[in-house]
Every structure is written in C-alpha cells, then in structure tokens.
C-alpha cells in the first residue's frame, strides 16, 4: 500500500517490441514525464500509468498485477493494460482531439467540432479509461494516502476515486491552459459538467498560471453555478470545497547544465558550427504540435528575410520540429505544412554557400541541447501553451540568448518582462521581434538573460511537487 501516488496517462518508461519478440525499455519523454521522473527518483511514490503501445502491453503481461517493478528495473510503477480500442478512443479522440483542442483554442469552427453518436461512444470510453485509473488507485492507496492525478486525460478520475475512497487526499493538476467559458461552451453541456465536477472531486486543483486557474473558476461559476471565492481560490459545489492553486513549474537548472556539458552535446555543437560557421542562430525546439504555431514562426522568419536583405548570409534558423501524435490526421497534415513552408524558404533564399533554414525532424535530445547552448535568439511562439519549458530551458543554457516569446504561453507570466513578447497570430510583429532580438546590444542580452535564468529556475520540479503536497495537507 502506498502513501503517495501519481496517476498520468504516460508513465516514466515505455517499451518497444522487436520482430523477434524482445522488449526494450526506454525512459518516457515529454515535459510532464521528465518533471515528474525527477520527483519519484527521490521518494517512495507509486506511479500509475497506461500501457500506450504493444510493447507496453507485452511488458505488463510479464509483470504480476501490472507492477512493472516486479519484472523490470523501473521503480514503483503500475501500468494499466486498457483494451486498445478503449484506449484509442479515450486518448486520441477525447483527450487529444477534444479536450486538448478546446483548451488550446485549436478548432477550425466552420468544420469542427461535431458532437454526434460517434463522440458519445468515445466519451463512454473516456469514462471507462478514467474508471480504470480510479479502480487501480483505490486498490493501491493506503489509508489517507495522497493521490496526485495529472492532466486532461484524467479529469473524471478524482470524482470517481472519491466515491470509492473518501479517506484519500486527492489533487488534480492541469499541465495545459484552461479555456474561458465562451470557448469551453463548445462542448456539450453534460460533458462540460462531467469534466468540471470530475476535477472538483479533488481537494486541490492545480494550474500552471493564475490565468488558467481563473478560467477554470470562471467555468465552474458559469456552467455549474458553483460558489467561487476568486481571492481565496476556493470553489464550493455540492457540499464540497476544492482549493485552487497556482504552481508554475520551472526547470532544475543544475541538472540541465550538467547534461548539456556532456561530450555528445559538445560534438553536436562542433557539427552545427561546421554547418553554420559564425552566422547568428535563431533556434526553435518543438514537437510538431498544432498549438506550437510553427508555420507562422517560419513565415515570420521569411518576412524578416524579405524586409532585411542586409541579414542574408548572416543568419541561420535552426528549427527542431519533432514528430508528434501522428495517429491524428490533423497532425500529419500540419507536419506536411511545416515541411512545405520550410521548402519555400529554401527555394526563395538559399544560395550556394548559405542555407537560411535547417529543419530537424528527428527527435535528437543532445542535438537540441547543443542548439540551445549556441542560440543567439530563441523563438517560442505558441498559439497557447500551459507553460512551455523550452522558453525556460533556453536562457539557462545560453546566457546571451534573446527570447522571442508568445504572450499566450504560460511562461510569459514569469518571463514576460525580459522577453520580447509577441501576439502569436501577428506574423509581421513576430518578424519585427526577430530583428529586434538579433540586433539587441550585448549588455542588454546579458542583463535580460540573467533575470530570465533566475525566473526559469524559481520552482524546479521537486519543489513544484512538494508545494502541491503541502497545499494538499
Ligand atoms: C505535453 C503537455 C502535457 C501533456 C503531454 C502529453 O507535455 O504539456 O500537458 O500531458 O504533452 O503528450 P503525449 O505525447 O503523452 O500525448
């Protein structure tokens, strides 16, 4: 029986299955997982997660009761083998195509969304998937244990778990933005109510910024008629109260700097230097994710080149756009649009001895660390983002890097005063900010860089997690 538990869709490890049936274990990726991995390394915390692939399912079959630590060197992990069709509908259709779209304002409303019978079946699967987590957590949690439920995949789990185990202290944390009521009301009314009351099943609901917390409270007021004390951050509904907390996740600067000083990163730096010479570097590092706004970022770079011929041959844009969520057609189309736009820039501006743009489409962590270290400008221009840790990692690794940052990223709340803030839809404004960043005097870069670094490391993952445990009581 555990005293502290984490529940999230993606777990700390994943497995791949080779043709001869052998399983290979890898540490899980992504911001949520890397932040939380640091937390569990230091404590006795059970992590409950879903099997995401055939490899994962193969591993669960070898682990009694899904406890991976009984069969592999994982630390305490229970992986749930949810039927693939149910998982697919819950993860791809509801979590990633509905809740993610709503909270990042991604719908192209003349065509999407459409909530008919198909959606109802998907919603049923989302309920089953959340129920599977609630069931496993109820089984594993000791009396009075603290359960930390993560993100939009698991909005219903807190209320379901409370019914099973009223003795537990339950927290929910949203790693995404939260949409204002006018946009949240795109969802069917009963679905809205279920999501909100699901999270209100927790004693503590955490958000990355005050803005997202406020939007959540506004939704509770508008759709449930809940009593909300905005100043104290308390939502009262159905004879229960939920405390709302703001916990702006930061970066463990020391660990990041240590990793970025390793020889594999150094050799990538040398390779990049060979490619770009002493030209200035504009860097971006993203998954090819609709919310990251990569196409407008590339278009802004193109507009900058059109307006500033004096920079031709003197600057290179190193853009990392790793594959993401390719089960969804929108993501496949978006990847193609990014590649099209990159090719147009190449066709228009490349010369025999100058490549204006280098697009990296393969996930290569040491190479991206090398890029951070060499960046003169870091471009982070999401349409909307819960936090965006790239904006925090860059300044830690390059003290003289100027940051061009979307005002719609959660990170803008802390980094705004020392970044060059842009409206992510304003391509001309973003092109202007790129120019300003490239021509920023050295002294100012260093001054801003030092303050950015301080803000980026203010709340590293371990303290971020401890703060939430403390808030939970
Ligand atoms: C990013 C988001 C998280 C989300 C995760 C899911 O890290 O910030 O809110 O949980 O992506 O990514 P996945 O690859 O697991 O779908």
Q: Confidence band (pLDDT; 50, 70, 90) for 363? A: confident
Q: How much distance in Å is there from the Cα of 23 to the middle of ligand 1?
A: 24
224 and 81 both lie in a single domain: yes
For residue 175 and ligand 1, the question of a CB distance below 6 A is answered with: yes
Instruction: Calculate what percentage of the chain has a pLDDT beyond 90.
Output: 91
Q: Which residue has the tokens 């009761």?
A: 65
* Residue/partner pairs of 69-72 with CB below 8 Å, 24 or more apart: 72/13, 72/25
Would the pLDDT of 5 be above 90? yes
For residue 162 and ligand 1, the question of a CB distance below 6 A is answered with: no
Would the pLDDT of 34 be above 70? yes
pLDDT, position 324: 87
Would the pLDDT of 96 be above 80? yes
9 and 137 both lie in a single domain: yes
280 and 224 both lie in a single domain: no
171, 149 in Cβ contact below 8 A? yes
For residue 250 and ligand 1, the question of a CB distance below 6 A is answered with: no
Q: How much distance in Å is there from the Cα of 33 to the middle of ligand 1?
A: 8
Q: Confidence band (pLDDT; 50, 70, 90) for 30? A: confident
Q: How much distance in Å is there from the Cα of 104 to the middle of ligand 1?
A: 13
pLDDT, position 43: 66
74 and 18 both lie in a single domain: yes
Q: Confidence band (pLDDT; 50, 70, 90) for 39? A: confident
ipTM: 0.96
Q: Confidence band (pLDDT; 50, 70, 90) for 36? A: confident
For residue 32 and ligand 1, the question of a CB distance below 6 A is answered with: yes
For residues 20-36, give the mean pLDDT. Answer: 83
For residue 389 and ligand 1, the question of a CB distance below 6 A is answered with: no
225 and 270 both lie in a single domain: no
For residue 31 and ligand 1, the question of a CB distance below 6 A is answered with: yes
For residues 163-178, give the mean pLDDT. Answer: 98
pLDDT, position 197: 98
Closest CA to 14 of 56, 77, 54, 44: 56
pLDDT, position 344: 98
For residue 408 and ligand 1, the question of a CB distance below 6 A is answered with: no
313 and 409 both lie in a single domain: yes
Q: Calculate the average pLDDT of the chain.
A: 96
For residue 30 and ligand 1, the question of a CB distance below 6 A is answered with: yes
Q: How do residues 232-261 score in pLDDT, each as one tens digit? A: 999 999 999 999 999 999 999 999 999 999
Q: How do residues 173-203 score in pLDDT, each as one tens digit? A: 999 999 999 999 999 999 999 999 999 999 9
Q: How much distance in Å is there from the Cα of 85 to the middle of ligand 1?
A: 20
Q: How much distance in Å is there from the Cα of 366 to the middle of ligand 1?
A: 20
27 and 129 both lie in a single domain: yes
Would the pLDDT of 335 be above 90? yes
Q: Could you give the CA distance from residue 51 to residue 133 in angstroms, rounded to a whole number?
A: 12
User: Which of 10, 95, 104, 209 maximizes ligand 1 atoms within 8 Å of its Cβ, making it the mutation to test the pocket?
Assistant: 10
DSSP letter (8 states) at residue 170: E
Would the pLDDT of 42 be above 70? no
pLDDT, position 215: 98
Tokens of 330: 């929108």
Q: Assign residue 235 the CATH number of its domain.
A: 3.40.50.2000
242 and 263 both lie in a single domain: no
Closest CA to 17 of 66, 68, 60, 48: 60
Q: How much distance in Å is there from the Cα of 363 to the middle of ligand 1?
A: 15
Q: Could you give the CA distance from residue 50 to residue 398 in angstroms, rounded to a whole number?
A: 36
pLDDT, position 28: 74
Would the pLDDT of 282 be above 70? yes
234 and 257 both lie in a single domain: no
pTM over 0.80: yes
207 and 65 both lie in a single domain: yes
Q: Angle at Cα 283 formed by Cα 303 and Cα 404, nearest 5°?
A: 65
Closest CA to 343 of 361, 330, 327, 325: 361
Q: How do residues 121-158 score in pLDDT, each as one tens digit? A: 999 999 999 999 999 999 999 999 999 999 999 999 99
Task: Output the CA torsion 251→256→258→262 (10° steps).
Answer: 180
213 and 312 both lie in a single domain: no
Question: What total number of domains does the chain contain?
Answer: 2
Tokens of 371: 């890029």
pLDDT, position 325: 87
Give me the domain span that covers residue 387: 253-456
Q: Could you give the CA distance from residue 62 to residue 73 in angstroms, rounded to a whole number?
A: 13
193 and 225 both lie in a single domain: yes
Q: Could you give the CA distance from residue 73 to residue 52 in angstroms, rounded to a whole number?
A: 19
């Amino acid at each position: 029986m555990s005293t502290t538990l984490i529940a999230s869709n993606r777990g700390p490890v994943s497995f791949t299955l080779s043709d001869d049936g052998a399983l290979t274990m890898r540490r899980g990726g992504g911001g949520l997982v890397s932040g939380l991995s640091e937390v569990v390394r230091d404590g006795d915390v059970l992590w409950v997660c879903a099997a995401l692939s055939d490899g994962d399912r193969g591993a669960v079959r070898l682990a009694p009761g899904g406890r991976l630590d009984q069969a592999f060197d994982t630390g305490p992990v229970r992986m749930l083998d949810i039927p693939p069709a149910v998982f697919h509908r819950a993860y791809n259709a509801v979590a990633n195509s509905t809740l993610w779209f709503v909270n990042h304002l991604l719908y192209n409303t003349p065509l999407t969304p459409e909530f008919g019978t198909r959606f109802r079946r998907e919603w049923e699967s989302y309920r089953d998937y959340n129920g599977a987590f609630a069931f496993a957590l109820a089984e594993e949690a000791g009396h009075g244990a603290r359960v930390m439920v993560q993100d939009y995949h698991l909005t219903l789990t807190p209320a379901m778990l409370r019914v099973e185990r009223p003795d537990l202290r339950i927290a929910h944390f949203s790693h995404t933005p939260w949409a204002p009521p006018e946009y949240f009301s795109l969802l069917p009314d009963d679905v809205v109510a279920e999501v909100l009351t699901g999270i209100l099943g927790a004693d503590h609901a955490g958000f990355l910024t005050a803005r997202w917390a406020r939007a959540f409270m506004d939704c509770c007021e508008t759709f449930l008629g809940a009593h909300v004390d905005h100043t104290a951050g308390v939502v009262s509904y159905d004879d229960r109260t939920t405390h709302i907390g703001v916990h702006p996740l930061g970066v463990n600067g020391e660990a990041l700097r240590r990793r970025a000083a390793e020889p594999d990163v150094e050799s990538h730096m040398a390779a990049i230097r060979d490619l770009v010479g002493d030209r200035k570097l504009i860097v971006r590092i993203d998954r090819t994710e609709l919310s990251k706004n990569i196409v407008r970022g590339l278009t802004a770079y193109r507009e900058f080149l059109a307006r500033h011929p004096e920079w031709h041959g003197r600057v290179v844009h190193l853009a990392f756009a790793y594959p993401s969520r390719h089960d969804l057609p929108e993501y496949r189309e978006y990847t193609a649009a990014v590649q099209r736009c990159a090719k147009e820039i190449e066709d228009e501006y490349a010369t025999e001895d100058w490549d204006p743009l280098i697009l990296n489409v393969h996930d290569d962590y040491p190479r991206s660390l090398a890029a951070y270290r060499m960046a003169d400008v870091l471009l982070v221009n999401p349409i909307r983002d819960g936090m965006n840790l790239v904006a925090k990692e860059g300044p830690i690794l390059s003290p003289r890097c100027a940051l061009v940052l979307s005002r719609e990223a959660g990170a803008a709340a802390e980094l705004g005063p020392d970044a060059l803030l842009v409206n992510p839809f304003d391509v001309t404004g973003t092109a202007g900010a790129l120019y300003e960043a490239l021509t920023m005097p050295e002294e100012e870069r260093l001054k801003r860089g030092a303050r950015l670094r301080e803000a980026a490391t203010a709340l590293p993952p371990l303290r971020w997690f401890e703060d939430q445990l403390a808030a939970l009581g």
